[in-house]
Protein backbone atom coordinates (compact mmCIF):
# COMPACT_ATOMS: atom_id res chain seq x y z
CA UNK A 1 0.00 0.00 0.00
CA UNK A 2 2.87 2.39 0.85
CA UNK A 3 4.47 1.92 -2.56
CA UNK A 4 1.14 2.24 -4.36
CA UNK A 5 0.37 5.51 -2.59
CA UNK A 6 3.90 6.83 -3.16
CA UNK A 7 3.57 6.13 -6.92
CA UNK A 8 0.15 7.80 -6.97
CA UNK A 9 1.46 10.81 -5.03
CA UNK A 10 4.23 11.20 -7.59
CA UNK A 11 1.84 10.93 -10.55
CA UNK A 12 -0.65 13.41 -9.09
CA UNK A 13 2.16 15.82 -8.19
CA UNK A 14 3.12 15.89 -11.87
CA UNK A 15 -0.44 16.16 -13.16
CA UNK A 16 -2.11 18.69 -10.85
CA UNK A 17 -0.75 22.25 -10.92
CA UNK A 18 -0.01 23.89 -7.56
CA UNK A 19 -3.05 25.50 -5.94
CA UNK A 20 -5.38 24.05 -8.59
CA UNK A 21 -9.11 23.69 -7.96
CA UNK A 22 -10.49 20.83 -9.99
CA UNK A 23 -13.33 18.45 -10.72
CA UNK A 24 -13.03 14.92 -9.36
CA UNK A 25 -15.18 11.93 -10.30
CA UNK A 26 -14.97 8.75 -8.27
CA UNK A 27 -15.84 5.51 -10.07
CA UNK A 28 -15.80 7.17 -13.50
CA UNK A 29 -16.38 3.82 -15.26
CA UNK A 30 -16.24 4.16 -19.03
CA UNK A 31 -15.86 7.92 -18.73
CA UNK A 32 -19.11 9.01 -20.42
CA UNK A 33 -20.01 11.64 -17.89
CA UNK A 34 -16.63 13.23 -17.27
CA UNK A 35 -15.60 13.25 -20.94
CA UNK A 36 -18.77 15.17 -21.82
CA UNK A 37 -18.40 17.43 -18.79
CA UNK A 38 -14.75 18.25 -19.54
CA UNK A 39 -15.51 18.94 -23.18
CA UNK A 40 -18.27 21.37 -22.16
CA UNK A 41 -16.03 23.04 -19.54
CA UNK A 42 -12.62 23.35 -21.24
CA UNK A 43 -11.21 25.67 -18.57
CA UNK A 44 -11.81 23.18 -15.74
CA UNK A 45 -9.26 20.50 -14.91
CA UNK A 46 -11.11 17.17 -14.57
CA UNK A 47 -9.82 13.95 -13.03
CA UNK A 48 -11.72 10.68 -13.02
CA UNK A 49 -10.62 7.64 -11.03
CA UNK A 50 -11.67 4.02 -11.13
CA UNK A 51 -10.24 0.80 -9.73
CA UNK A 52 -10.90 -1.15 -12.95
CA UNK A 53 -8.05 -0.77 -15.43
CA UNK A 54 -10.16 -1.94 -18.38
CA UNK A 55 -12.65 0.89 -17.66
CA UNK A 56 -9.83 3.42 -17.33
CA UNK A 57 -8.49 2.21 -20.71
CA UNK A 58 -11.88 2.77 -22.37
CA UNK A 59 -12.27 6.18 -20.74
CA UNK A 60 -8.79 7.23 -21.89
CA UNK A 61 -9.58 6.21 -25.45
CA UNK A 62 -12.71 8.35 -25.28
CA UNK A 63 -10.63 11.29 -24.04
CA UNK A 64 -8.04 10.78 -26.80
CA UNK A 65 -10.65 10.48 -29.55
CA UNK A 66 -12.31 13.67 -28.32
CA UNK A 67 -8.93 15.42 -27.84
CA UNK A 68 -10.00 16.62 -24.42
CA UNK A 69 -6.83 18.12 -22.99
CA UNK A 70 -8.28 19.17 -19.61
CA UNK A 71 -9.22 15.58 -18.67
CA UNK A 72 -7.30 12.72 -17.05
CA UNK A 73 -8.38 9.25 -16.01
CA UNK A 74 -6.32 7.46 -13.38
CA UNK A 75 -6.56 3.94 -12.06
CA UNK A 76 -6.81 4.52 -8.33
CA UNK A 77 -8.94 3.67 -5.33
CA UNK A 78 -10.75 6.58 -3.64
CA UNK A 79 -9.09 6.26 -0.21
CA UNK A 80 -5.66 5.94 -1.80
CA UNK A 81 -6.35 8.99 -3.92
CA UNK A 82 -7.41 11.06 -0.91
CA UNK A 83 -4.28 10.01 0.96
CA UNK A 84 -2.03 10.83 -2.01
CA UNK A 85 -3.37 13.97 -3.71
CA UNK A 86 -1.34 17.18 -3.37
CA UNK A 87 -2.17 19.15 -0.25
CA UNK A 88 -2.07 22.49 -2.07
CA UNK A 89 -4.86 21.58 -4.53
CA UNK A 90 -8.62 21.46 -3.91
CA UNK A 91 -11.79 19.87 -5.18
CA UNK A 92 -14.12 22.39 -6.75
CA UNK A 93 -16.71 19.77 -7.63
CA UNK A 94 -16.99 16.09 -6.73
CA UNK A 95 -19.18 13.66 -8.68
CA UNK A 96 -20.15 10.19 -7.52
CA UNK A 97 -22.46 8.55 -10.03
CA UNK A 98 -24.04 5.16 -9.46
CA UNK A 99 -21.43 3.88 -7.01
CA UNK A 100 -21.53 0.17 -6.17
CA UNK A 101 -24.35 -0.05 -3.58
CA UNK A 102 -23.08 -3.06 -1.59
CA UNK A 103 -26.67 -3.84 -0.50
CA UNK A 104 -25.86 -6.40 2.23
CA UNK A 105 -25.37 -4.79 5.64
CA UNK A 106 -22.12 -6.66 6.28
CA UNK A 107 -20.74 -5.15 3.06
CA UNK A 108 -21.69 -1.53 3.82
CA UNK A 109 -18.12 -0.92 4.94
CA UNK A 110 -17.10 -1.25 1.26
CA UNK A 111 -19.22 1.70 0.17
CA UNK A 112 -17.26 4.68 -1.11
CA UNK A 113 -19.28 7.29 0.77
CA UNK A 114 -18.80 7.07 4.54
CA UNK A 115 -18.43 9.77 7.19
CA UNK A 116 -14.63 9.30 6.96
CA UNK A 117 -14.81 9.89 3.22
CA UNK A 118 -16.91 13.05 3.75
CA UNK A 119 -14.36 14.40 6.25
CA UNK A 120 -11.43 13.62 3.95
CA UNK A 121 -13.09 15.26 0.93
CA UNK A 122 -14.08 18.29 3.03
CA UNK A 123 -10.45 18.66 4.13
CA UNK A 124 -9.49 18.92 0.45
CA UNK A 125 -12.30 21.33 -0.52
CA UNK A 126 -12.81 25.05 -0.11
CA UNK A 127 -16.00 26.73 1.07
CA UNK A 128 -18.76 26.43 -1.54
CA UNK A 129 -17.29 23.34 -3.26
CA UNK A 130 -20.02 21.01 -4.54
CA UNK A 131 -20.56 17.31 -3.94
CA UNK A 132 -23.01 15.62 -6.31
CA UNK A 133 -24.19 12.08 -5.66
CA UNK A 134 -26.55 9.99 -7.80
CA UNK A 135 -27.70 6.40 -7.36
CA UNK A 136 -30.56 4.09 -8.26
CA UNK A 137 -30.29 2.37 -4.86
CA UNK A 138 -32.68 4.15 -2.53
CA UNK A 139 -31.27 2.81 0.78
CA UNK A 140 -27.75 4.02 -0.17
CA UNK A 141 -29.24 7.38 -1.19
CA UNK A 142 -30.97 7.72 2.19
CA UNK A 143 -27.81 6.72 4.02
CA UNK A 144 -25.68 9.34 2.22
CA UNK A 145 -28.36 12.03 2.69
CA UNK A 146 -28.41 11.25 6.40
CA UNK A 147 -24.59 11.26 6.67
CA UNK A 148 -24.46 14.64 4.92
CA UNK A 149 -27.26 16.12 7.01
CA UNK A 150 -25.29 15.25 10.17
CA UNK A 151 -21.84 16.16 8.87
CA UNK A 152 -20.34 19.38 10.26
CA UNK A 153 -18.48 20.30 7.03
CA UNK A 154 -21.15 19.71 4.39
CA UNK A 155 -24.55 21.34 3.92
CA UNK A 156 -27.16 19.27 2.13
CA UNK A 157 -29.14 21.27 -0.46
CA UNK A 158 -32.94 21.17 -0.06
CA UNK A 159 -33.36 20.29 -3.73
CA UNK A 160 -30.38 19.38 -5.92
CA UNK A 161 -29.44 21.68 -8.77
CA UNK A 162 -27.65 19.13 -10.95
CA UNK A 163 -24.99 21.04 -12.90
CA UNK A 164 -24.61 18.90 -16.02
CA UNK A 165 -26.42 15.94 -17.54
CA UNK A 166 -24.84 13.11 -19.52
CA UNK A 167 -26.20 9.60 -19.15
CA UNK A 168 -23.71 7.08 -17.78
CA UNK A 169 -23.69 3.35 -18.55
CA UNK A 170 -25.40 2.57 -15.23
CA UNK A 171 -27.84 5.44 -15.53
CA UNK A 172 -29.06 4.02 -18.86
CA UNK A 173 -29.84 0.70 -17.18
CA UNK A 174 -31.55 2.16 -14.11
CA UNK A 175 -35.35 2.50 -14.14
CA UNK A 176 -35.09 5.58 -11.89
CA UNK A 177 -32.52 7.35 -9.76
CA UNK A 178 -32.04 9.73 -6.84
CA UNK A 179 -29.70 12.73 -6.74
CA UNK A 180 -28.36 14.97 -4.04
CA UNK A 181 -26.16 18.03 -3.80
CA UNK A 182 -24.13 19.24 -0.84
CA UNK A 183 -21.91 22.28 -0.42
CA UNK A 184 -18.77 22.65 1.67
CA UNK A 185 -19.56 24.93 4.63
Ligand X SMILES: C[S@@+](CC[C@H](N)C(=O)[O-])C[C@H]1O[C@@H](n2cnc3c(N)ncnc32)[C@H](O)[C@@H]1O
The single residue among 15, 20, 52, 83 that binds ligand X, judged by CB under 6 A, is 52
What is the rounded CA–CA span in Å between residue 46 and residue 33?
11
The single residue among 11, 15, 20, 51 that binds ligand X, judged by CB under 6 A, is 51
The single residue among 11, 20, 157, 169 that binds ligand X, judged by CB under 6 A, is 169
**Shortest-Cβ-distance residue relative to ligand X:** 27
Structural contact between residues 157 and 178, judged by C-beta atoms closer than 8 angstroms: no
Structural contact between residues 142 and 107, judged by C-beta atoms closer than 8 angstroms: no
The single residue among 16, 26, 45, 68 that binds ligand X, judged by CB under 6 A, is 26
What is the rounded CA–CA span in Å between residue 142 and residue 180?
10
What is the rounded CA–CA span in Å between residue 180 and residue 106?
25
- What is the DSSP track for 67-104? T-TTEEEEE--HHHHHHHS-TT-EEEEEEEES-----S
Verify binding: residue 60, ligand X, rule CB under 6 A.
Answer: no
| 153 tagged catalytic | no
Active site residue: 100, 136, 153, 158, which one?
A: 100
What is the rounded CA–CA span in Å between residue 51 and residue 185?
30
Among the listed ranges 15-23, 36-44, 153-161, 163-171, the one in contact with ligand X (CB under 6 A) is 163-171
Among the listed ranges 25-33, 124-132, 139-147, 176-184, the one in contact with ligand X (CB under 6 A) is 25-33
What mask, x for binding ligand X by CB under 6 A, covers residues 68 to 87?
A: ---------xx---------
Structural contact between residues 130 and 161, judged by C-beta atoms closer than 8 angstroms: no
Angle at which helices 32-40 and 53-66 cross, to 10°: 30
Among the listed ranges 35-43, 95-103, 140-148, 155-163, the one in contact with ligand X (CB under 6 A) is 95-103
**Cβ neighbours, 10 Å, residue 1:** 9
The single residue among 37, 98, 132, 133 that binds ligand X, judged by CB under 6 A, is 98
Verify binding: residue 100, ligand X, rule CB under 6 A.
Answer: yes
* Catalytic machinery residues: 100
Q: Site residues (CB under 6 A) for ligand X? A: 26-27, 29, 49-52, 55, 77-78, 97-100, 112, 168-171
Amino acid sequence: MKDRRAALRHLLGELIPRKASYVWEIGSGHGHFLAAYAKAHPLELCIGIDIASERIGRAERKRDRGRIGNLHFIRAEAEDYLASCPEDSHFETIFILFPDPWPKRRHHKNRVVTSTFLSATAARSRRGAGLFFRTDHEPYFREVASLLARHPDWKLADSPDWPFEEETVFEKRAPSHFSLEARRR
